[in-house]
Structure 1
Amino acid sequence: MGKNFQHGFLDYPVYAFSENYPHGHVEDWHHHDRIQMIHTLSGVIRIQTDEGIWITPPGRGVWIPANKPHALLSSGGVKARGVFISPCARENLVNECRVIAIPALLRELMSSAMEIQTAIQPNSRNQRLLEMILDEIELLPTLAFNLPEPQSQKLKLLCQEVKANLSINWNLEDTADYLHMSSKTLARHFQKETGLHFSHWVRQAKLMQAMIDLAMNKPILNVALELGYDSPSAFSAMFKRETGMTPSGYACQFPTTQ
């Protein structure tokens, strides 16, 4: 766990927690016997599973199924709160990782649930509060801040190389030639294994690295050039289109590191 971990009353199908992660905090592969939903108030959390990577910017949340092995990396100094949920608390709870929007009502409900420190009495306000959290969770919209991982070794190695060299122009035709296959074959296999077109996956990889770099207070010009954009304006247009925020507006959420 990170620093300053606190929680509400534990003996119920859902309970709230809060936690601070210092910049650069790492949690190696582990899992929980409950579903974990983490809401970031500040900083960025990077969650990795066998299926891919999920990035949670400020104001969003990440959903991690029960018993799902995952690793965690924090950037920018993270303040988080969230809930642990029994997999049996409701029917049809999502059983895959995803980044989610966190509406204002759910934020306030989780904050109130943190104050519960006594046993939950039937038909009490506290029970209704916790059940309302479950009601709201069933309605959460999914956001596209994830990077799915292919399953074949050849495409896994390709994706690792792309992530290590994001300044390169990874277009489909040249990449297919590099792999000694046709562009149609690469496009078909990549779509089948990741659910994304190759160009979309590369754009997502750049976006997610940008979110981490900006949280670490890297200058926007440097981030743009390191990700292969010809100009800060081209990078800014992509970033705003994908996140709804300008890079400078996003970066202002993070305190300057010393």
Structure 2
Amino acid sequence: MFGKSEDRDDYQQIARPVGGMARDLPDRFFIDYHEHIRGQLIYASTGAIVVTTAKGNWVVPSLRAVWVPPRVRHCMQAVGAIEMRTLYFDGDHAPLRSPDCCVVSVSPLLRELIDAVTRMPVDYALNSRDAAVVDLLFHEIRPLSVEPLHLPMPSDERIARICRWILSNPAEETSVAAWSKVAGASERTIIRLFPEQTGMTFTRWRQQARLLVAVQMLSAQHSVTDIASSLGYDSTSAFSAMFRKALGCTPTEFFKP
């Protein structure tokens, strides 16, 4: 049945404003860089997805989804085994008008609507129950709040080198002064470039990197104690305080509906 296709290309030229695709992926499954003519809403009911574009990384745990606008080149990787559900929207019916990727919360109702659209045929009848589900889907997406789960990546190779190291070694406490000796830029230049290139100070960017690593580790069922230790925090309470300040809830509450 065409509506059950797992080929993203089968959803780009359909006649309806939205089409849904279901695809289950194993842990660490990687989808290389590509783009679509349609905007894309990506959701996984288990595990997490890391979406990467030229502008940075977006972490999409369960109960969240990421919006990828049309023609934005991106790649994706599964964190844990995931049940991925993807909706493709034509340009005249984009549920979000952001020119950049963004992460939104998924309410229980939106979760069921996404699942319903992935089950219906791509040529669902107009003025039908399926069409009514699609109409409700648009109403449920638009008012949802954007979650701060984006990590902007710099284009300047001097600080990009620093960022890549931090992502690979999130507990590292190397100072800006120490980085200036290996990055090919003065301490003052590094301090200036981080806000210019990422919109964040060096310290803020490092904290955001740790936050996104933490979300990925939570998705992979690591304990809060192990995550706090892996990220260099002296205690689980210090890590939990950072997490709550950034996302409005504790790590143990993050995946609760």
TM-score by length of 1: 0.82
Q: What RMSD over aligned residues (CA atoms) do the two structures have, in Å?
A: 3.1
| Identical-residue share of aligned pairs (%) | 28
How many aligned positions are there? 250
Does residue 243 (structure 1) correspond to residue 239 (structure 2)? The answer is no
Match of 2:45 in 1: 41
Give per-residue Cα distances to partners, 1:154-189, cap 9 Å, x unaligned. Answer: 111111122222222244455456655244x43332
2:211 to 195, 207, 210: 207
1:17 to 17, 21, 25: 21
Give per-residue Cα distances to partners, 1:188-218, cap 9 Å, x unaligned. Answer: 3211111112211101111111222233333
TM-score by length of 2: 0.82
Does the 8 Å CA contact 2:27/2:80 hold for their aligned counterparts? yes
2:80 to 58, 68, 76: 76
Please give the residue correspondences for 1:1-258 in structure 2 after superposition, counting only pairs within 5 Å. Answer: 5=6, 10-90=14-94, 93-117=97-121, 119-172=123-176, 174-176=178-180, 179=183, 180-183=185-188, 185-249=189-253
- Paired with 1:222 and 1:20, the residues of 2 have a C-alpha distance of 28
Deviation at 1:241, TM superposition (A): 2.9
Does the 8 Å CA contact 1:150/1:156 hold for their aligned counterparts? yes
Deviation at 1:51, TM superposition (A): 0.9
Match of 1:256 in 2: none
Q: Which sits farther off after the overlay, 233-242 or 55-64?
A: 233-242
State the one-letter code of the partner of 1:181. Answer: S
Structure 1 residues 91 and 232 mapped into 2: Cα distance closer, same or farther (>3 Å)?
closer
Deviation at 1:83, TM superposition (A): 1.3
- Paired with 2:246 and 2:66, the residues of 1 have a C-alpha distance of 17
Structure 1: runs of 5+ lacking an equivalent = 254-258
Structure 1 residues 39 and 171 mapped into 2: Cα distance closer, same or farther (>3 Å)?
same
Does the 8 Å CA contact 2:95/2:142 hold for their aligned counterparts? no
State the one-letter code of the partner of 2:202. Answer: F
Q: Secondary structure at the match of 1:187?
A: helix
Structure 2: runs of 5+ lacking an equivalent = none
Structure 1 residues 92 and 47 mapped into 2: Cα distance closer, same or farther (>3 Å)?
closer
- Paired with 1:113 and 1:155, the residues of 2 have a C-alpha distance of 42
Does the 8 Å CA contact 1:170/1:202 hold for their aligned counterparts? no
Structure 1 residues 192 and 111 mapped into 2: Cα distance closer, same or farther (>3 Å)?
same
Does the 8 Å CA contact 1:47/1:71 hold for their aligned counterparts? yes
Deviation at 1:124, TM superposition (A): 3.9
State the one-letter code of the partner of 1:22. Answer: P
State the one-letter code of the partner of 1:113. Answer: V
- Paired with 1:31 and 1:168, the residues of 2 have a C-alpha distance of 34
Structure 1 residues 70 and 156 mapped into 2: Cα distance closer, same or farther (>3 Å)?
same
Structure 1 residues 52 and 131 mapped into 2: Cα distance closer, same or farther (>3 Å)?
same
Does the 8 Å CA contact 1:15/1:84 hold for their aligned counterparts? yes
Q: Which sits farther off after the overlay, 17-26 or 49-58?
A: 17-26
